[in-house]
């Protein structure tokens, strides 16, 4: 399935909005659950079956826990830990997974073209594109650093939490700064930041899937807000 970047941005917006607003009635919960299905379907279209299953299990557990075992009166360490866990899974995971899907499936060229269509200034579009470009780099650097730490047997910083973070962050920051500096030098020599208006070879067109999804998302938002605040 190929979605337009504009649909994807709208999708992130709606998913985060609805998932973050508290659902108070069973009907609102139904809307919220159907929105949560979106990231699961996305994971499946990306052939991440194991991740989809894991997310489904985590989400299901969190829901069951919230409804049957936890209440506003819950006390104690385990209950508060569980509330934290459920809160994160129920409120943030759907939005996070949607965002991950968007970053993973959108090419930088498509993203830039989309920004142009929406008349976002080049400066902002380029900065956002660099952020997207940097995610995989950070992941790559982080995993090499992790390897190095395992080899030296300092995975846990000798039991010192502060060291554990320091050993990871310092090399990561150094290499990201270096890569960033070289990256911008390379981009500037290829004309980034010039006075000419950027063009784009990617032609974006909204398809049937885009219209359907957008209609669904809009309807869900409108109904959710209406039932929550107006009725």
Binding residues for other proteins (CB under 8 A): 49-50, 107-109, 112, 129-130, 132-133, 136-137, 140-141, 144-145, 147-154, 166-167, 170-171, 174-175, 178-179, 182-201, 203
Note the Cα 188 to chain centre separation in Å. Answer: 29
Q: How far is the CB of 59 from other proteins (least distance, A)?
A: 19
In whole angstroms, the minimum distance from the beta carbon of 6 to other proteins comes to: 18
Q: Do 98 and 20 form a contact (C-beta atoms < 8 A)?
A: no
Residue 139 C-beta: closest distance to other proteins, Å: 9
Minimum separation from the CB atom of position 190 to other proteins (A)? 4
Select 9 or 154, whichever has its Cβ closest to other proteins: 154
Is residue 100 a contact partner of residue 88, using CB atoms and an 8 Å limit?
A: no
Do 23 and 32 touch, CB atoms closer than 8 A? yes
Nearer to other proteins, 73 or 195 (CB): 195
Nearer to other proteins among residue 119 and residue 190 (C-beta): 190
Phi, psi of 100 (to 5 degrees): -60, -45
């Amino acid at each position: 399935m190929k979605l337009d970047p504009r649909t994807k941005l709208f999708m992130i917006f709606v998913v985060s909005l609805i998932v973050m607003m508290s659902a108070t009635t069973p009907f609102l919960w139904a809307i919220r659950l159907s929105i949560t299905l979106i990231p699961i379907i996305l994971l499946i279209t990306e052939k991440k079956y194991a991740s989809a299953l894991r997310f489904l299990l985590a989400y299901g557990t969190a829901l069951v826990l919230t409804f049957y075992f936890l209440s506003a009166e819950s006390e104690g360490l385990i209950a508060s830990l569980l509330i934290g866990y459920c809160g994160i899974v129920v409120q943030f995971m759907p939005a996070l997974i949607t965002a991950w899907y968007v970053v993973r499936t959108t090419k930088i060229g498509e993203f830039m073209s989309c920004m142009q269509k929406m008349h976002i200034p080049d400066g902002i579009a380029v900065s956002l594109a660099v952020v997207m470009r940097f995610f995989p780099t950070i992941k790559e650097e982080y995993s090499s650093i992790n390897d190095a730490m395992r080899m030296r047997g300092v995975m846990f910083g000798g039991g010192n939490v502060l060291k554990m973070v320091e050993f990871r962050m310092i090399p990561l920051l150094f290499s990201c700064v270096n890569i960033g500096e070289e990256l911008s030098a390379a981009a500037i020599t290829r004309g980034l930041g010039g006075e000419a208006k950027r063009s784009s070879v990617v032609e974006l067109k909204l398809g049937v899937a885009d219209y359907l999804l957008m209609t669904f998302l809009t309807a869900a938002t409108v109904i959710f807000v209406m039932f929550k605040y107006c009725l």
